[in-house]
């Protein structure tokens, strides 16, 4: 009823401002400057946004959508299709590549004949200048993958991808950011109650099994093998893998499904808890973790879902698991990726330590 009251308040303003049913979307945009300030003042705007979304889903309001990047750039659409079919790249990865490649097409053009080594290098350096090391590496990878696609299609000479500059990265120079067991317990303790059954199940999947945010968001009923106590995951490059389903994680998922999950026709397990009801996205999973950290009062520089993946790996190592075992649970393709976690325990460093090549001290 509170949402209806807020919507009525917004409706009075829209009517007084001269907006009709056909122009409610414009009225929503115009009201942004009116209902602003504190969270209470913005509440009518939030209720109106839900109402406009509902009208669009009912086809009462027609939504004019801007063309996607793939629709604007046919070359980008062909690249994305090739990456899905030939490389098995997931949509989340393509979503990171596409804005970079759109800037490449705007800067250099869509004609591969203009992709000289100098032009490619200048583009990457200029595009990466405002960003940090991690984002700069992503820009370089996206550009390099597009050039490899052009080479495979015969549009660019072989070796042109080497024109993309590399950015320094010392993989083992830092320690992974993780939460201690006491922080994990506090995080889960703040997910008690009927209204947070979903959040508890999500947190347990992240903190116990080290799943990625996209893997939790895309989990379906068919992925859960209740009889054998395991779940199947479609990881990177379409690799299907099985993981055991711990008792507490399974109980949390069942509690959410039976007592809190909205009843809509979708096979996805985790849904939004307020209208419009729809499957959770990867970003929504990260927001659940961020809100949970805030409720528990946990101070952490890294506040996304990946910090729980690091925490799961650290907890397994400190419980006596081997690096190879941790790598199998996290589904790492390279042992060097898992080796990063050895630094959380000095005793485990002996497994990756190399003999000293210098002279012994006198």
By 3-state DSSP, what share of the chain in percent is helix, strand and coil, each rounded to 5? Answer: 60, 5, 35
Is 309 an active-site residue? yes
Is 212 an active-site residue? yes
Whether the CB-CB separation of 282 and 213 falls below 8 Å is answered with yes
Least Cα distance to 190 among 290, 260, 319, 262 occurs for 290
Side-chain-side CA neighbours of 321 within 13 Å: the count stands at 20
Is 236 an active-site residue? yes
Task: List the end-to-end C-alpha distance of the chain, in Å, as a whole number.
Answer: 81
Least Cα distance to 328 among 174, 210, 180 occurs for 210
Residue keyed to tokens 């050895």: 342
Is 115 an active-site residue? no
> Which residues are CB-neighbours of 88 under 8 A, at least 6 positions away?
236, 237, 238
Least Cα distance to 309 among 331, 280, 325 occurs for 331
Which residue among 148, 196, 198, 212 is the active-site one?
212
Which residue among 90, 127, 309, 310 is the active-site one?
309
How many other β-carbons are positioned within 10 Å of the β-carbon of residue 50? Answer: 15
> Which residues are CB-neighbours of 155 under 8 A, at least 6 positions away?
112
Which residue among 87, 236, 318, 331 is the active-site one?
236
Q: Which helix (H) or strand (E) holds 231?
A: strand 230-234
Q: How far apart are CA 121 and CA 163, in angstroms?
A: 6
Q: Which helix (H) or strand (E) holds 84?
A: none
Least Cα distance to 262 among 249, 272, 248, 250 occurs for 272
Which residue among 306, 318, 331, 343 is the active-site one?
306
Q: Which residues are catalytic?
A: 212, 236, 306, 309, 332, 341
């Amino acid at each position: 009823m509170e949402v209806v009251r807020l919507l009525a308040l917004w409706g009075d303003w829209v009517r007084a401002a001269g907006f009709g049913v056909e122009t409610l979307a414009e009225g929503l945009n115009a009201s942004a400057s009116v209902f602003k300030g504190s969270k209470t003042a913005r509440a009518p705007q939030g209720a109106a946004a839900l109402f406009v979304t509902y009208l669009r889903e009912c086809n009462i309001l027609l939504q004019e959508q801007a063309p996607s990047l793939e629709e604007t750039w046919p070359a980008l659409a062909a690249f994305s299709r090739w990456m899905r079919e030939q490389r098995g790249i997931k949509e989340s990865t393509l979503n990171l590549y596409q804005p970079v490649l759109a800037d490449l097409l705007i800067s250099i053009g869509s004609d591969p004949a203009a992709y000289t080594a100098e032009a490619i290098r200048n583009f990457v350096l200029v595009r990466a200048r405002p960003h940090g090391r991690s984002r700069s590496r992503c820009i370089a990878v996206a550009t390099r993958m597009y050039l490899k696609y052009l080479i495979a299609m015969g549009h660019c000479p072989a070796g042109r991808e080497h024109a993309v500059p590399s950015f320094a990265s010392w993989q083992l120079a830092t320690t992974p950011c993780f939460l201690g067991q006491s922080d994990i317990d506090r995080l889960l303790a703040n997910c008690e109650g009927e209204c947070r059954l979903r959040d508890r199940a999500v947190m347990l999947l992240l903190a116990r099994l080290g799943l990625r945010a996209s893997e939790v968001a895309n989990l379906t009923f068919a992925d859960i093998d209740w009889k054998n106590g395991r779940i199947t995951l479609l990881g990177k490059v379409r690799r299907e893998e099985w993981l055991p389903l711990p008792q507490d994680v399974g109980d949390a998922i069942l509690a959410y499904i039976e007592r809190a999950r909205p009843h809509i026709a979708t096979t996805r397990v985790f849904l939004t808890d307020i209208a419009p009801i729809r499957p959770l996205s990867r970003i929504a999973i990260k927001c659940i973790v961020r809100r949970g950290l805030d409720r528990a009062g946990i101070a952490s520089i890294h506040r996304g879902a990946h910090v729980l993946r690091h925490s799961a790996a650290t907890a397994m190592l400190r419980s006596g698991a081997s690096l190879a075992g941790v790598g199998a649970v996290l589904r790492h393709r390279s042992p060097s990726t898992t080796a990063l976690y050895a630094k959380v325990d000095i005793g485990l460093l002996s497994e990756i330590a190399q003999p000293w090549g210098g002279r012994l001290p006198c």
